[in-house]
Amino acid sequence: MPKKKLLDVDTLWRLERLGTPSLSPDGAQAVAAVTRFSMDDNSASSTLWLLSTLGGAPRALTQCGQKDGQPQWSPRGDRIAFVARREQEGAKDEEPQLYLIAPDGGEAQRAATVATGIEALRWLPDGRRLLFVSWVWPGLKGEKAQAKAMAEFRKRKESGYATSETQYRHWDHNLPMGREPMLHLLEPGLDGRPARVRNLFEGTPYSLQRSEPGANTFDASPDGRRVAFAFDPHPEQRIENRHAIAELDLKSGRIDVILQDADWHFAAPRYSPDGERIAFVAQHDARKHTAPDQLAVWERERHTWDVVSGEWDHAVQAPLLWEDDGQAVLLMAEQEGRKHLWRFDLPDRRAERVVSGGTLQGFDKRAGVLVTLADAVDHPARLTAHLPGQPPRRIESFNDKVLAGVAMARTEEVWYTGAQDEPVQMWLSYPPDFDPKKKYPILQVIHGGPHTAFGDAFHYRWNVQTFAAQGYVVACVNYHGSSSFGWAFLDSITHRWGELELQDIERATDWLLHKPWADAKRVFATGGSYGGFMVAWMNGHVAAGRYAAYVCHAGCFDWTAMFADDAFSWHAKELGAFYWDDPEQVRRQSPHAFAAAMNTPTLVIHGALDYRVPDAQGLAYYNTLKARGVDARLLWFPDENHWILKPRNSKQWYGEFFDWLARHDMRPGRRR
């Protein structure tokens, strides 16, 4: 039997990545986007595939597009809507547009040409009309005026971005200058009929949230007469503002605010099957900014709302999906480093796990058929059908052939006593050929957030399988502050960043070094974003020699200078003060204040398009180390953001990462 090869970066990028499924009304078929990458061309292309939940091979539905995505099956079952940029009838899309295609194939048709483009979509129950989001100039009336303004904007010679908004950029892009995300109603122009587009917010003060106004921010009632949407009611929109929910009557255009509370943040509205209730996500933000998202329900008859999951110490994640009988809501929630699908029973106020993770990434349910998209640390995302009375069954095998000859690392879950003498979870992944009688280097990989978790997931940008394949025992600690372990655990680090997390990581290293296979001279710590903050923090707080080297990707270095990021108005909530109100409170949580103690060699990686942690953070850290005479190396990408998304850049990232570790790894045969 031939020996399996180890997972390398090229193989990682040969894997196809599946998107969230949408089911046909009868539940017999699902449609999902599949993205493929080319290392040679340094590009990606996404096409739509049909997958039978009853058996049979997947079938490609689209072939002509390069970025076909967000597929949504019509309630009538006759068409599938999706967003794409294409060329059709001699016209090339300058902005993403909405396309329709029949499930049995044929050529996709552009449903309309919207000059300002389309960002998210949702069908109305009649299967004839759609809702979509587009960024438009709020003072203009009609599509012609918007198209004219867009044409003039494209012709401008100036490149400057001018704004008076507090929230003006997000992650890696400036928000459209002078425009707002608004809901539109579309009657597609097909079979010779002209398309009809109406801005539902035109002439009103309403718009959707400025950051990621996706399809979960709005919903249509089952009778197609109303639309519920979440919005920011404050005159000045900020990333931390508490949102309200309003309801729009499609016939009259009247908008009524149905959910608003000064102490609560509301999001992700979803109508019940009878339209008389709306499930939504509620966060008691006034209690604490870290308070968990909870499931709540609004009742039309009494015009009241209630948090129904208040006794369940889990953070609820959208989308929400009502069961057909209106007695329960399907939702996603993390639990101890895994993300499951849950059914929350409303009469009993009880959560029941429906599908266990790994990490659930998406789901849909129609006609009693459930389809889930989930990955795990030992496999990329897969689509699985769950039919009543039958065992779960995978409905695709896109990556099976590529992975058939690859040896995967064994991963185990470990619990140890961390800070405050509380239990802390750690994932350990061993090299595929691990022999406990030999000595191995340790690689601590510290997650970002901080309020996220290292889960049982296949992470492309920090893939533990590729790390373990290099011969490292990979340790991923869900330190204090991580999600999925209850609110008290998550909130414990607030206003004292670095303290408990460092204790957790150091106790994990102690735990590891007590193992006979651990080599104390070859211990490394790496991390991205908040994990990058942590390795910079460790460099100023952990004695030199404890770790052979660090890798800091997109790490926070100076909390005062971090005020250049896209979430600056949120800092005081986590740090405990703005830097001008209590400079010492901010300074004592900032790695740069401890630069005099930094002596451990560090690879610093950053992208110029990173607006969450601006690249000046990485450059300042690197420059500081060089000024101090500390061994350091810089990898800077002019065309990447908080993540490394291009195949060739990713290959360079992994190459520099592994070369840096090898340079400081004293294994025999390793380059120094």
pLDDT digits (tens, 9 = 90+) for 539-554: 999 999 999 999 999 9
- How far is it, in rounded angstroms, from Cα 618 to Cα 622? 6
- How far is it, in rounded angstroms, from Cα 380 to Cα 399? 8
Q: Does domain 403-663 have CATH number 3.40.50.300?
A: no
Mean pLDDT of 399-420: 97
Nearest Cα to 365, choosing from 6, 25, 17? 25
Query: With 70 as the cut, is the pLDDT of residue 2 above it?
Result: no
Query: With 60 as the cut, is the pLDDT of residue 612 above it?
Result: yes
pLDDT (0 to 100) of residue 672: 39
Q: In this structure, are residues 621 and 636 in contact, taking their beta carbons and an 8 Å threshold?
A: no
pLDDT tens sequence across 615-668: 999 999 999 999 999 999 999 999 999 999 999 999 999 999 999 999 999 765
- How far is it, in rounded angstroms, from Cα 120 to Cα 96? 10
Two tokens, residue 314: 């889990």
- How far is it, in rounded angstroms, from Cα 298 to Cα 300? 7
Domain ranges in the chain are 403-663
SS (H, E, C) 434-465: CCCCCCEEEEEEECCCCCCCCCCCCCCCCCHH
Please name the amino acid found at residue 10.
D
pLDDT (0 to 100) of residue 301: 95
CB contact burial 19-33 (16+ within 10 A = b; e otherwise): bbbbbbeebebbbbb
pLDDT (0 to 100) of residue 255: 98
Helix, strand or coil for residue 375? Answer: strand
CA-based angle 281:287:292, to the nearest 5?
35
pLDDT (0 to 100) of residue 105: 82
Neighbours of 199 (CB within 10 A): 20
Taking the CA atoms of residue 399, residue 400, residue 405 and residue 407 in that order, the dihedral angle to the nearest 10 degrees is 80
pLDDT (0 to 100) of residue 671: 46
- DSSP H helical ranges for 99-214: 143-155
- How far is it, in rounded angstroms, from Cα 379 to Cα 486? 27
Nearest Cα to 472, choosing from 552, 359, 548, 555? 548
Q: Quickly state the pLDDT bin for 87 (edges 50, 70, 90).
A: confident
- DSSP H helical ranges for 517-646: 530-541, 571-575, 583-587, 615-627
- At a CB cut-off of 8 Å and minimum separation 6, what does 444 contact? 475, 476, 477, 505, 508, 509, 523, 524, 525, 526, 547
How far from 313 is each of 255, 284, 316, CA to CA, in Å? 34, 13, 9
Please name the amino acid found at residue 168.
Y
Two tokens, residue 160: 């400057």
- How far is it, in rounded angstroms, from Cα 272 to Cα 68? 30
How far from 669 is each of 435, 551, 662, CA to CA, in Å? 18, 22, 10
Mean pLDDT of 585-612: 98
For helices 499-513 and 530-541, angle between their N-to-C axes, nearest 10 degrees? 80
Query: With 60 as the cut, is the pLDDT of residue 436 above it?
Result: yes
Nearest Cα to 574, choosing from 587, 586, 562, 583? 586
Q: In this structure, are residues 220 and 124 in contact, taking their beta carbons and an 8 Å threshold?
A: yes
- DSSP H helical ranges for 419-577: 464-469, 487-491, 499-513, 530-541, 571-575
Nearest Cα to 576, choosing from 564, 590, 565? 590
Query: With 60 as the cut, is the pLDDT of residue 669 above it?
Result: no
pLDDT (0 to 100) of residue 257: 98
Query: With 70 as the cut, is the pLDDT of residue 1 above it?
Result: no
Neighbours of 612 (CB within 10 A): 18
Matching residue, tokens 């399907």: 330
> Rounded to a whole number, what is the largest CA-CA distance in the chain?
77
Counting every residue written for the chain, the total comes to 672
pLDDT tens sequence across 90-99: 789 999 999 9
Two tokens, residue 478: 């869900």
Query: With 50 as the cut, is the pLDDT of residue 359 above it?
Result: yes
Query: With 70 as the cut, is the pLDDT of residue 670 above it?
Result: no
- How far is it, in rounded angstroms, from Cα 366 to Cα 360? 18
How far from 548 is each of 341, 443, 542, CA to CA, in Å? 41, 10, 12
pLDDT tens sequence across 155-197: 999 999 999 999 999 999 999 999 999 999 999 976 677 899 9
Q: Is the bond into 436 cis (omega within 30 degrees of 0)?
A: no
CA-based angle 134:646:609, to the nearest 5?
60
Two tokens, residue 443: 């690689």
Instruction: Using CB atoms within 10 Å of the CB of residue 189, give its burial: 0 to 12 exposed, 13 to 18 middle, 19+ buried.
Output: middle
Mean pLDDT of 516-522: 97
Q: Judging by DSSP bridges, how do beta strands 406-407 and 410-417 pair with one another?
A: unpaired
Neighbours of 653 (CB within 10 A): 21
Q: Judging by DSSP bridges, how do beta strands 29-38 and 22-23 pair with one another?
A: antiparallel
Average pLDDT value over all residues in the chain: 96
CB contact burial 477-500 (16+ within 10 A = b; e otherwise): bbbbbbbbbebebbbbbbebbbbb
Mean pLDDT of 410-414: 97
DSSP secondary structure string for all residues of 156-175: ----------S--EETTEEP
Two tokens, residue 665: 């790894």
Query: With 80 as the cut, is the pLDDT of residue 324 above it?
Result: yes
pLDDT (0 to 100) of residue 598: 98
Mean pLDDT of 243-266: 98
Matching residue, tokens 């990707």: 553
pTM above 0.85, yes or no: yes
- How far is it, in rounded angstroms, from Cα 619 to Cα 615? 6
